[in-house]
Structure 1
Amino acid sequence: MFAELFVYCWFADDLISESEKVAQAAYDAVPSLLECPASVKRSLLILMQRAQRPLSITAAGLFPLSRESFVSIVNVSYSFFAILRNFRED
């Protein structure tokens, strides 16, 4: 179960990282904005505005999947397991 969750979190974190680079890549793709038609400038502006918020995959809309969220899930799971194990031993 943890391996499957890890795969989702790993690739979701890669998606976040790559989507943060989209605005800069779009800006670097156009060597001179002065020579571009207005429609291209408008499309580029819309793309760069949208790229300000990185894409993310969320778990049931509660929190974004990332490597950090995987680590926190594992920590919380282990804590619950340790508590339950303590109750069982008593």
Structure 2
Amino acid sequence: MLLWCVLQAAQVADQVYSCGWETLPAPALRRSLLIMLARAQLPTYFRAYDMLTFNMEMFVSIMQTAYSMYTLLRT
């Protein structure tokens, strides 16, 4: 579930950029979408009790370690 949230959050910047914001007639709306685009480009992470930060790099590391342990136990 957390991985899905991280992946969806990464797509927000692409969707905002692809919405045609540069052709909008209202400057305030264009400015708001630019701010949204800038904020969406920040990396997404989850914190657990201010001790553990879970992000995409942590997920990849956990999956690599789990696969290594699986192959070690299988041999």
Identify whether the pair has TM-score above 0.5, normalized to the shorter chain.
yes
CA-based RMSD of the aligned residues comes to 2.7
Q: Distance in 1 between matches of 2:32 and 2:12?
A: 14
Matched, 1:15 2:8: no
For 2:60, the equivalent position in structure 1 comes to 68
CA 1:68/1:58 → structure 2, altered by over 3 Å: closer, same or farther? farther
For 1:26, the equivalent position in structure 2 comes to 16
Assess if the C-alpha contact under 8 Å between 1:12 and 1:56 holds in 2: no
For 2:73, the equivalent position in structure 1 comes to none
CA 1:65/1:48 → structure 2, altered by over 3 Å: closer, same or farther? closer
CA 1:70/1:60 → structure 2, altered by over 3 Å: closer, same or farther? farther
Matched, 1:43 2:35: no
Gaps (5+ residues) in structure 1?
Answer: 1-10, 79-90
Q: CA deviation at 1:19?
A: 0.4
Q: CA deviation at 1:33?
A: 1.3
Gaps (5+ residues) in structure 2?
Answer: 70-75
Q: 33-42 or 46-55: which moved more?
A: 33-42
Q: Distance in 2 between matches of 1:29 and 1:39?
A: 16
Secondary structure of 2:13 counterpart: helix
Secondary structure of 1:29 counterpart: coil
How many pairs were matched up? Answer: 65
Assess if the C-alpha contact under 8 Å between 2:24 and 2:30 holds in 1: no
Q: CA deviation at 1:68?
A: 3.2
Q: Higher Cα Rg: structure 1 or 2? A: 1
State, as a whole percentage, how many aligned pairs show the same letter: 23
